[in-house]
Structure 1
């Protein structure tokens, strides 16, 4: 039975599509130490499971984008769900770190398809104002899973061990596969006379890269995501390995930052309805991210990193992302509607590349006794986002003026 695009059920479907990639990230966080112990490697090395997952996700987007523009969003989403199911079983049965990392790459490649299709479907079906509201919902929905996943992961870890932590992704992918197969009608306007040649694919991506507004907003969103992933990876290492908190306690702390992103996205939507320009809301988010990241770095260098301070900074940066991401993503999607899949692919690719790089840097440079790698990465990416806005977006800010 077809789900009407204007219905609440359709909005929920978009949210589930968008959240599938997060099942492969946040459920893992409380189990990093346990996974490392079981596989005979330091906990920081398990941080690489986050990085390779994001690299697999980002690399697959380059394939899914043009394919979805040519053949539609539905078959790509269904294919990604099937790959996610297979890879999740592989992760759960991995006998060693190399095997786990290999399956994590495949899992990331699978979840990439449903995740990016959510944004492309919004651009297919809704005008600019409605699309911005839908994207705000998607950003909020993406953080429902992070809000509960660490706690759920901790419960699964306590009851059944780290391997079963990968099975909720299997269940979510199966549900989406059934919903998309039976309830979704193709949203893309497909030109059956066009061919998916390498030249066409390259030209589409060059069109995205050459459009100042499009690439500018994409870079802002990617850098802001890098700041968020610095605390996603670093907070687990800091709270569990430095402060000695249990996985259940960490799950509650991480949930607070997820609620903050949802709150930022909600406020962004409400303030937009009151007539505040998206560009102003984006600027507010960039300022908040930079201020909070600076505060954490100064406090870390001074040796003042109390639990309450780090939590406050996490919440502040998360709140800022709720303002940045919906407006930057909406701005990126507006100029090139004909190749919305390719634009969405570049959005996802650069976001995951920045996130993977940030996650890897934090894990590699974690010193075992401070939040320095997390704080430094957060400030770097916050400043990078602000720099992209000032140098690339601001001179050509027609879309969100």
Structure 2
């Protein structure tokens, strides 16, 4: 029995699919030390498994996008989720760090197929409804982000790190069954036989030369880099400098994830009230830059009360939740016939920019302040705002010019 696209069940399924890549990172965080102890590696070396997973998340969507435009979203998502489940089993059976690294990379390749979620939304819904659906998916992703680290710690307590991967395999199997039975194909599949390198390159050329799509992809990448900088830097600062316990820091992280959910929920409510997405996005990006700049100013002044810093990071998360549904929605609008390629390019570029931001924060961390985090956040948020004001918003106005006023008769 197929799930109706307008139903809550369909939205939840989209949300759980979109959350697969994030849960694949967060649920394993508590188990790095235990994994290293079993495999004879240090926690920092085991941390390379996260890098392998994220690398595949950045690369694999570039293959999935054009394929899904030609053979459909459903077979691509099903194949990817099946690969995720199988690779999770292989991770659970790994007996060396190198084997785990390889299996984690393959697991990420499978998880990357779920980035087609936004293309599915673009296939099915018009701009206004798509905005609300994307906001709901963002909320679902952040619910999983809040729960995943605690779930990982609980599984580690009752079993071992291998149980975490077995649980991921089980979750992947359930999602595979749900997609098989509940999803209908959503893509408007073009002429057969077009899956040639030249055709794929032509698709990505269209994406990267479309002013609106490229501008919003870059806005999303810069906004995402702001959040990746916070994720990396907040852990270094609150645990390494302030001296909070991991469980205490977890409360801050959960509060920020809840703030993202609140921002996405607020955006969906404003959309129902007829507030234009450009208005909400402008407010979100201005708030993101303002708060990030305040954080940088506080750091430069050597005044960083932990409670105030945590509150401002929640404001950053709220601004991100307000902005991201509108960014993704605007990204997917201009090229509906190759929505898979658009979504793939957006996801890949955002993941790459996030990895660069995280690397900068970790590399520049001085061991006694939040300067590397706040500096990267301020720079990335400024870039996001400028890209939107100078390129993305004018591109939207060219696509949807205001109606000409006629003189009164």
Which residue in the other structure is 2:21 paired with?
A: 21
SS in structure 2 opposite 1:276? coil
Aligned-residue offset at 1:334: 0.8
Please, which moves more after superposition, 339-348 or 244-253?
Answer: 244-253
Partner of 1:195: 194
Give me the CA root mean square deviation: 2.3
Counterpart-to-counterpart distance in 1, 2:38 and 2:235: 18
Q: Is the 8 A contact 1:239 1:250 kept in 2?
A: yes
For structure 1, the 5+ residue unaligned runs are none
Shift of 1:344: 0.9
Seen in structure 2, the aligned counterparts of structure 1 residues 171 and 378 have a Cα distance that, compared at 3 Å, is farther
Secondary structure at the counterpart of residue 386 of structure 2: helix
CA deviation vs aligned residue, 1:59-104 (integer Å, no higher than 9, x gap): 0011000000111111111111122123323444545555444333
Partners of 1:374 and 1:47 lie apart in 2 by: 20
Instruction: Report whether the alignment pairs 1:303 with 2:302.
Output: yes
Q: Give the deviation of 1:203 after TM superposition.
A: 0.8
2:216 alignment partner in structure 1: 217
Superposition deviation, residue 33 in structure 1: 5.6
- Please give the secondary structure, in 2, of the residue aligned with 1:351: helix
Report if aligned partners of 2:80, 2:112 keep a CA contact under 8 Å in 1: yes
The match for 2:175 is: 176
Report the equivalent of 2:353. 354
Residue in structure 2 matched with residue 135 of structure 1 by the alignment = 134
Map 1:34-45 → 2, pairs under 5 A: none
Larger displacement relative to structure 2 (1-10 or 325-334): 1-10
SS in 2 for 1:187: coil
Name the counterpart of 1:339.
338
> Kindly tell me: are residues 371 and 87 of structure 1, through their superposed partners in 2, closer, same or farther at Cα, counting changes over 3 Å?
farther
Q: Which residue of 1 aligns with 2:153?
A: 154
**Length, aligned pairs only:** 400
Is 2:72 the partner of 1:55?
no
For 1:129 and 1:237, how far apart are their aligned partners in 2? 39
Q: How far off is 1:393 after superposition?
A: 0.9
CA contact (8 A) 1:290 1:382 kept: yes
* 1:70 corresponds to: 70
Partners of 1:324 and 1:378 in 2: CA distance? 15
Could you tell me how far 1:354 is from its partner in structure 2?
Answer: 1.1
Q: Are the equivalent residues in 1 in contact too, given 2:128–2:271 (CA < 8 A)?
A: no
Give the deviation of 1:211 after TM superposition: 0.8
Partner deviation per Cα, 1:99-119 (whole Å, 9 max, x = no partner): 4443332222111102x2211
**Structure 1 residue 175 displacement after superposition:** 1.2
Q: Distance in 1 between matches of 2:302 and 2:92?
A: 39
CA change 1:231–1:400 in 2 (3 A) is: farther
Segment drifting more, 58-67 vs 353-362: 353-362
Q: Do the aligned partners of 1:31 and 1:154 also contact (CA within 8 Å) in 2? A: yes
Larger Rg: 2
Task: Answer whether contact 2:70 2:192 (CA < 8 A) is retained.
Answer: no
Task: Flag the 1:124–1:28 CA change in 2: closer, same or farther, 3 A.
Answer: same
The 1:94/1:65 distance shift into structure 2, 3 A limit, reads same
For residues 93 and 13 of structure 1, the distance between their equivalents in structure 2, rounded to whole angstroms, comes to 28
- Greater CA deviation, 355-364 or 172-181? 355-364
CA-to-aligned-CA distance 1:320-375 (integer Å, 9 cap, x gap): 11111111111111111111111111111111111122222223333343323222
Q: Do 1:44 and 1:366's aligned partners in 2 also have CA atoms closer than 8 Å? A: no
The answer to whether 1:377 aligns with 2:376 is: yes
CA contact (8 A) 1:30 1:251 kept: no
Aligned to 1:285: 284
Q: With the length of structure 2 as denominator, give the TM-score of the two structures.
A: 0.90
Q: What is the deviation of 1:313?
A: 2.4
Q: State the distance in 2 between where 1:373 and 1:266 align.
A: 31
- Cα gap change, 1:165 to 1:71, in 2 (>3 Å): same
Shift of 1:144: 0.7
Give the whole-Å Cα distance in 2 for the aligned partners of 1:219 and 1:260.
23
Distance 1:296 1:58, change over 3 A: same
- Distance in 2, matches of 1:167 and 1:316, equals 36
Measured after TM superposition, the shift of residue 34 of structure 1 is 5.5
Pairs within 5 Å for 1:385-400: 385-398=384-397
Is residue 2:298 matched to residue 1:275?
Answer: no
Aligned-partner SS, 2:261: helix
Distance 1:14 1:327 in 2: 17
2:6 & 2:82 partners in 1: Cα distance? 27
Contact persistence 1:222–1:355 (CA under 8 A): yes
Q: Please, which moves more after superposition, 253-262 or 241-250?
A: 241-250
